[in-house]
Structure 1
Amino acid sequence: MTIRHFLQFSDFTADEHRWLFQRAAEIKRKFKNYEKYHPLADRTLAMIFEKASTRTRVSFEAGMYQLGGSVVHLTTGDSQLGRAEPIEDSAKVISRMVDLVMIRTFGQDKIERFAEHSRVPVINGLTNEFHPCQILADLFTFLEHRGLDAQGRIDPRALEGRVVAWVGDGNNMANTWLQAAELLGFTVHLSTPSGYEVNQDVAGLRSADSYKVFADPMEACQGADLVTTDVWTSMGFEAENEERRKAFANWCVDAEMMRVARPDALFMHCLPAHRGEEVQAEVIDGPQSVVWDEAENRMHVQKALMEYLLLGRVTD
């Protein structure tokens, strides 16, 4: 089978993403019913971390074990990507010993260079530019709550025509939301402080038709089906923390923003969250918040992704 990588959301077609949502629902159903499902028995996932993580490590590691596979965990000191050994050489060596590689690092260029020389699929666990696995989980979570058909099954086309309000930094999450909107037919209302806008060239969009920019975050939230945000200071930008606190002061998602969204609007946050900064406690801990489902669903969509990259479209 042709080697496929998942380095950014746009690496897959809309049809492939819809398949992953439906497959994730079936894999999650098996998990909840304690049905043993080991399609990746004797397969090994290498996880390479240059950026620390809780959710990424637990979701990938637990997910691979649940699929019957095994995991090799490498940190910055273990892997030496691009330092003691060129990235290209590391890719050639590691990919001869495992079946799948997940990398969580800084620059997108590192993961792209690794994938270019890998003999196995490579998954982006997060880079400064993109976070595709998180948006997979977010969209799947939205479909679970607002996208079921009459038989209670996920309808991936229920995303079409929806409005997602992104309030905060024009970071890797925002870039990936914009890619997803362009592919899957929904609109992103984007509101960032001046100087922290999304770079359309980095996001790699063909046009600006799938998003609208708002200077006022309250206006961005009006009529939204989903309101979502992220920390104000992403990993690697800690030196800007105080400057960002001042710049983002009006971009804290609060109850008033949720009130101008649709009555059944959901709130999401990729976590970890700082209550009182990017989101008020009454929102993230309130009835519209689905952040805990969202966190769990990282594992289920990633299981569907790993299965797809290694086995193609499995039906059972």
Structure 2
Amino acid sequence: MNIRHFLRLSDLSPSALRALLQRAIALKKIQRAGERYAPCAGRTLAMIFEKSSTRTRVSFETGMAQLGGHALFLSPRDTQLGRGESIEDTARVISRMVDMVMIRTFGHDNLIRFAAASRVPVINGLSDDHHPCQLLADLMTATEHWGDLRGRTVAYIGDG
């Protein structure tokens, strides 16, 4: 089985990225119109936070609720990772119980190891090397304001 993870923006081809942005914009319109769209009904997202973040937690929990699913918050105290269990063992156990996993972590290599052992898709909520969900949100905003981004030059200046 070929599992598609989202660990960095380059995991998406340019055409897949454009399609994803257009779909996200369409879903935003559906949500704002008050229509119910629940493709994640009966599904659970595990959210593993090594690094805390109000915005990431609220946006993923809200997004899952709006799509009909459930988000489960796991801090370092809530997993065996803080007690010496390997990343691979944690990935195998958690991915047997949920439908997808979002991780906000320090080391990108830990994210890659988790994804390699997971039975379900893994989303990078932030690592020291990549922040693809934030980039998607920024690209969506730019697309909503400017339209097609092909041929545009964009500079991204982060905090680190």
TM-score with structure 1 setting the length: 0.49
1:161 has 2:114 as partner: no
CA distance in 2 between partners of 1:15 and 1:85 (Å): 39
Instruction: Write the mapping of 1:195-274 to structure 2, written as runs, cut at 5 A.
Output: 229-231=157-159, 234=160
Q: Secondary structure at the match of 1:130?
A: coil
1:131 has 2:131 as partner: yes
CA shift for structure 1 position 57? 0.3
Work out the percentage of aligned pairs sharing the same amino acid. 61
Q: Which residue number corresponds to residue 240 of structure 1?
A: none
Q: Which residue number corresponds to residue 119 of structure 2?
A: 119
Instruction: Say if 2:50 and 2:106, in contact at 8 Å, map to a contact too.
Output: yes
- Where does the alignment leave 5 or more consecutive residues of structure 2 unmatched? none
Amino acid at match of 1:163: T
CA shift for structure 1 position 12? 1.5
CA distance in 1 between partners of 2:144 and 2:67 (Å): 22
CA shift for structure 1 position 82? 6.7
CA distance in 2 between partners of 1:77 and 1:99 (Å): 22
**1:176-218 deviations in Å (ceiling 9; x for gaps):** xxxxxxxxxxxxxxxxxxxxxxxxxxxxxxxxxxxxxxxxxxx
CA shift for structure 1 position 15? 1.4
Amino acid at match of 1:21: L
Instruction: Write the mapping of 1:46-125 to structure 2, written as runs, cut at 5 A.
Output: 46-81=46-81, 83-125=83-125
TM-score with structure 2 setting the length: 0.95
CA shift for structure 1 position 230? 3.4
CA shift for structure 1 position 77? 1.2
Aligned length: 160
**1:251-292 deviations in Å (ceiling 9; x for gaps):** xxxxxxxxxxxxxxxxxxxxxxxxxxxxxxxxxxxxxxxxxx
- Where does the alignment leave 5 or more consecutive residues of structure 1 unmatched? 148-157, 167-228, 235-316
Q: Secondary structure at the match of 2:81?
A: coil
**1:238-262 deviations in Å (ceiling 9; x for gaps):** xxxxxxxxxxxxxxxxxxxxxxxxx
Amino acid at match of 1:230: G
Q: Secondary structure at the match of 1:21?
A: helix
User: Any runs of at least 4 consecutive aligned residues in structure 1 with deviations exceeding 4 A, and if so which?
Assistant: none
1:44 has 2:34 as partner: no
Amino acid at match of 1:78: D
CA shift for structure 1 position 83? 4.5
CA distance in 1 between partners of 2:73 and 2:85 (Å): 18
CA distance in 2 between partners of 1:82 and 1:58 (Å): 23
CA shift for structure 1 position 160? 1.6
CA distance in 2 between partners of 1:88 and 1:82 (Å): 13
Amino acid at match of 1:60: F
CA distance in 2 between partners of 1:144 and 1:5 (Å): 26
